């Protein structure tokens, strides 16, 4: 079931006092919106007792310097994300983006583009959700974040998008020289987007298709650590694009080295919307559809999403404590960084764990 269905029923029935002033949506209008319906079809058998290792660094190992980028904020009700949340538990969360720079070639990658300030450029249904129930603020977008650190968006060679939800695709137009990489299963969301499909949540122009590569499943031909499907992007073991099924069509993550001595970072996108899901303290939320008994979930394929969440959680249990795991909406990490000077944000660098 699509994300906007979940938002509608949650906010309509679970948060009546918070959103009482909002005009009710017409349910029939929402029935045609599909965001999560094309998850990759892989076998996700998983043995949680088997803690997989990561490859050791090679001689003169290449790695990536990783910097966080400001990319806007969105109000997110926890009822949508974790079990046992209260109706008033609403967090203003970041939509984090990241700049990654290859240690040897200097090539630059931006992972996700966060939110765009001109929300009128989104598809009409996304605009409606923002206006009514999920207010966004963009004090600084990705282009501005890069420029404040001395880099122009036009200097970025590659943009990797975890998926095509509005709080991750941002504004691609400043990246005039970049190739865009997206999971293959996301392509129908663009080719059948708004205005071809008036109820779509993506637009046909949300990415420059002439410079967009939809990564085929055949590229994800190796396994690494707990992840069965990965793509060694540079071919030198510095950065792996990870198939991250469950949340949305074509959802991908990044696992990359952050030092030549063994440090890693895992950029998890929307694999989870709350760190407590990764630690096992909470479970993925399911929201009842208006007394019907039907359960709705923020993830298109809840079972696959839970399997992937457990795999990501393995990285946090490693005895070496050498992997930094970051989800796109980690408000606790964000707030801590801001209080301590924000040195992880460009032109600063997220410190390596090892």
Q: What is the pLDDT of residues 192-249, one digit of tens each?
A: 999 999 999 999 999 999 999 999 999 999 999 999 999 999 999 999 999 999 999 9
Please list the ranges in the chain whose pLDDT falls under 50. 1-2, 4-6, 8-51
pLDDT 10s digits, 17-42 = 333 333 333 323 333 333 333 333 33
pLDDT at site 10? 45
227 falls within a domain: yes
44 part of a folded domain: no
Q: What is the pLDDT of residue 84?
A: 87
Instruction: With respect to residue 49, please indicate whether it lies within any of the assigned structural domains.
Output: no
Task: Report yes or no on 78 lying in a domain.
Answer: yes
CA distances from 336 to 83, 93, 107, 148 (A): 24, 13, 29, 21
Instruction: Measure Cα distances from 340 to 98, 108, 159, 343 in Å.
Output: 19, 26, 29, 8
What is the tally of structural domains in the chain? 1
Whether 205 is covered by a domain: the verdict is: yes
**pLDDT score at 187:** 96
The verdict on residue 196 lying in a domain is yes
Both tokens of 64, joined, read 């990536």
Report the CATH number at residue 193. Answer: 3.60.15.10
**Ramachandran sector of residue 175 (left: φ over 0; alpha: ψ -120 to 50; beta: rest):** beta
Beta bridge partner(s), residue 224: 227
What's the confidence (pLDDT) of residue 29? Answer: 34
């Amino acid at each position: 079931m699509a994300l906007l269905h979940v938002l509608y029923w949650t906010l309509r029935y679970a948060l009546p006092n918070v959103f009482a002033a909002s005009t009710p949506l017409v349910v029939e209008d929402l029935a045609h919106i599909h965001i999560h319906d094309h998850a990759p079809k892989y076998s996700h058998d998983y043995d949680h007792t088997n803690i997989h290792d990561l490859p050791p660094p090679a001689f003169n190992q290449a790695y990536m310097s990783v910097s966080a980028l400001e990319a806007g904020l969105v109000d997110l009700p926890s009822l949508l994300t974790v079990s046992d949340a209260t109706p008033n538990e609403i967090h203003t969360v970041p939509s984090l983006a990241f700049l990654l720079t290859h240690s040897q070639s200097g090539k630059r990658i931006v992972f996700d583009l966060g939110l765009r300030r001109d929300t009128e450029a989104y598809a009409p249904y996304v605009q409606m959700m923002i206006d009514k129930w999920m207010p966004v603020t963009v004090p600084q977008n990705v282009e501005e974040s890069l420029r404040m650190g001395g880099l122009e968006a036009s200097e970025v060679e590659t943009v990797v998008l975890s998926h095509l939800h509005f709080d991750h695709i941002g504004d691609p137009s400043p990246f005039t020289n970049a190739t865009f990489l997206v999971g293959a299963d996301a392509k129908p969301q663009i080719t059948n987007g708004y205005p071809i499909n008036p109820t779509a949540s993506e637009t046909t122009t949300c990415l420059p298709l002439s410079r967009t590569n939809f990564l085929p499943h055949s590229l994800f031909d190796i396994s690494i650590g707990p992840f069965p499907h990965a793509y060694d992007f540079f071919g030198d073991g510095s950065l792996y694009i990870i198939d991250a099924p469950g949340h949305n069509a074509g959802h991908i993550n990044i696992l990359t080295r952050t030092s030549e001595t063994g440090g890693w970072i895992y950029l998890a996108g929307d694999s989870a919307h709350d760190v407590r899901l990764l630690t096992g303290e909470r479970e993925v939320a399911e929201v009842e559809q208006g007394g019907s008994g039907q359960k709705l979930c923020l993830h298109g394929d809840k079972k696959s999403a839970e399997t992937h969440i457990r795999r990501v959680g393995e990285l946090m249990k490693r005895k070496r404590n050498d992997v930094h795991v970051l989800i796109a909406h980690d408000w606790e990490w964000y707030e801590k960084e801001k209080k301590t000077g924000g040195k992880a944000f460009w032109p600063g660098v997220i410190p390596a764990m090892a």
